[in-house]
Amino acid sequence: MQDTAPGESSPPLRVFVVENHADTLEALTMLIGQLGHQVTGASTLSGALDALAAEEPDVIVSDIGLPDGSGWDLLRQLPHVPYAIAMSGYGMSADRDRSLAAGYRHHLVKPMDLEALEALLAEAARERAASTSSN
């Protein structure tokens, strides 16, 4: 499943997940953690903004439909947008376009393909490693 050569692993990422469904948040946190990444999360826009004021993750994985706003609102309110992945039940091309316009790099439609999420996290890790080595 990983997008790396045998014996090679992606450096761990700090991943922040925003998902209002408690079971889905727990499952994503567990799965991303099993990939070796550090994971924290929130279930609301306000909770995410509060947490993100104190930490700067490498990747944000956010649901678009939140009880107190949207994942699109989330990125608009952040001073720095890291590698961001939208996830949503909204899968029309206009929804994808809106996610990209808001600053998301990718828009995954629920139910999510976990291998696609894993590949995107590996891509984010490679980009982070490349930018760190070029500094």
pLDDT digits (tens, 9 = 90+) for 29-69: 999 999 999 999 999 999 999 999 999 999 999 999 999 99
pTM for the full predicted model: 0.90
Least confident of 32-46, 49-63, 94-108, 121-135: 121-135
Query: Cα separation of 49 and 36, whole Å?
Result: 24
Average pLDDT over residues 9-16: 84
Write the CA distances from 42 to 24, 47, 94, 110, integer angstroms: 11, 6, 26, 18
Mean pLDDT value across the chain: 90
Q: 2 pLDDT exceeds 50?
A: no
Angle at 68 between CA 62 and CA 73, to 5 degrees: 50
Yes or no: domain 14-133 corresponds to CATH 3.40.50.2300: yes
Q: 6 pLDDT exceeds 60?
A: no
pLDDT band at 5 (very low <50, low <70, confident <90, very high): very low
Q: 73 pLDDT exceeds 50?
A: yes
> At 87, which helix (H) or strand (E)?
strand 83-88
Q: What are 126's two structure tokens?
A: 């490679």
Percent of the chain with pLDDT over 70: 90
